[in-house]
Amino acid sequence: MRTLRLTRPALGLSTALVLSCLCSGTALAESSPYYIGVAQTFAHESNLLRLREGQVAPPDRSKSDTISTTALVAGIDQSFGRQRLNGSASLRANRYADNRQFDGSGYGLSLGLDWETIENLSGRVNVGADRNQRADLRDRLGRFIEGGTDEDTERFSATARLGLAGPLSIEGGVNWYSLGYEAPAASYAEYTQSGGSLGVRYRLGGATSVALSLRTARIDYPNLLISQANPRDKRKSDNIDLNVVWVPSGSSQLDATLSQGRTRYEQLSERDFEGTTGSVAWNYTPGGRLRGNVRLARDTGQNSDLATTAFSQTTDTLRVAADYDVTGKIVASASLQYYRRVLDGTGQFVSNVRGTDNGNVLTLGLRWTASRSLQLGCQASSERRGNNSNVLLNDAYSASIFSCYGQFTLQ
């Protein structure tokens, strides 16, 4: 069972944002690095529960619903000397028209610091915490969970770069992430992850560079195998990364990473992986009204929303997105994401079960910045997961979401 637990980074984040909001009251008369305001969103979801194909909603729940979210928002973006501090905070109240049992509150906290010394040393620190409601939350057997549906995440990351003589620099970083749930029946999906990287980067000229680094990650699943004497499993991943950033022109940038590594589990060795992963991302800003990006990636990871205790061994993803300035105040956006997963069953309920599935998410949006203080927008999205090649791993579903929001801030 997961109760609200803010780590020291998150507590420091909360304090900083509260102070920033108090300070903003004295700075609203002029252009200020602080803002505070309110936001209202109305959304309709056709498949709120993410019911699978052929599945019927329980008698006390509605498949579709309209959700109202009211939020208080605040933020800061302040430079001082060589440093820059930016962050945001929100407190949200969610109300459901038909599924009243999901009514609740949430929050979002994020704070980042870009720092630089008088020598060739610079970096960034990020901390954050979020609470969201998961109306589609299920237990290990795929049954809907009664009671609390809160999902809590906390995160921390830090990177540093030391410039050496000439175009050579040393880069390193550490990161930490935690996922937990209010409902004890969802504790099987909880985990914490920590990792780090260290490498060297060589600047070839301008913004074009190449880097070679070692990266490691450790994931602890304390309750993954809940029916066994030892429910804990741990995942260890080690990789060698080759990264190239190529900037052929001021309007185009290519960022490619090729990784060779292996992943090992202490107990669920069926999910072990050894091979090549990586990503290629292209950002294109030709000037004028259009901005676009394309990203193709293969990565290892897990998916905790599968009734057969199967986890994603590898995931291939292609995402295409674009923004277009219709006018100086109106921006249209569109994105399409396609993914393909390789799943491997575990030995708790099934054994030696392997299959593949795919899905896609299409999103269209329109945003109007009516004034410096007022922003309005609407967004429509459609998501679909197809049938798995193995019937024991089949979790096909589809859903569509339409939402509109308004936000008013003082700055």
Across 34-38, 161-165, 358-362, least confident range: 161-165
**pTM of this prediction?**
0.83
Dihedral-angle region of residue 174 (phi above 0 means left; psi in -120 to 50 means alpha; beta otherwise): beta
Asked, for residue 218, whether it belongs to a domain, the answer is yes
Asked, for residue 240, whether it belongs to a domain, the answer is yes
More confident residue, 131 or 9: 131
Half-sphere exposure for 182 (CA within 13 Å, toward CB): 19
Across 50-59, 134-143, 203-212, 338-347, least confident range: 338-347
Question: What's the rounded Cα separation, in Å, for the pair 400 and 359?
Answer: 13
Q: 256-276: per-residue pLDDT in tens? A: 999 999 988 888 777 788 999
Across 4-18, 181-195, 296-310, 378-392, least confident range: 4-18
Asked, for residue 1, whether it belongs to a domain, the answer is no
- Specify the residue for token string 């309110």: 38
Q: 205-216: per-residue pLDDT in tens? A: 878 999 999 999
Question: What's the rounded Cα separation, in Å, for the pair 328 and 189?
Answer: 45
Tokens representing residue 59 in the block = 């008698």
| Cβ-Cβ contacts under 8 Å for 146 (sequence gap 6 or more) | none
pLDDT tier at 142, thresholds 50, 70, 90: confident
Q: Quick check: helix, strand or coil at residue 141?
A: coil
Asked, for residue 92, whether it belongs to a domain, the answer is yes
Reply yes or no on whether the pLDDT at 311 is more than 90: no
Beta strands in 222-265 (DSSP E): 233-249, 252-265
Reply yes or no on whether the pLDDT at 306 is more than 90: no
Question: What's the rounded Cα separation, in Å, for the pair 94 and 131?
Answer: 12
| Domain extent at residue 156 | 8-410
Asked, for residue 3, whether it belongs to a domain, the answer is no
Instruction: Please give the pLDDT value at position 21.
Output: 42
pLDDT tier at 351, thresholds 50, 70, 90: low
Tokens representing residue 332 in the block = 């249209």
Question: What's the rounded Cα separation, in Å, for the pair 235 and 269?
Answer: 10
Number of domains in the chain: 1
CATH of the domain at 198: 2.40.160
Reply yes or no on whether the pLDDT at 374 is more than 90: yes
Residue 334's Cβ-count burial label (10 Å; 0-12, 13-18, 19+) is middle
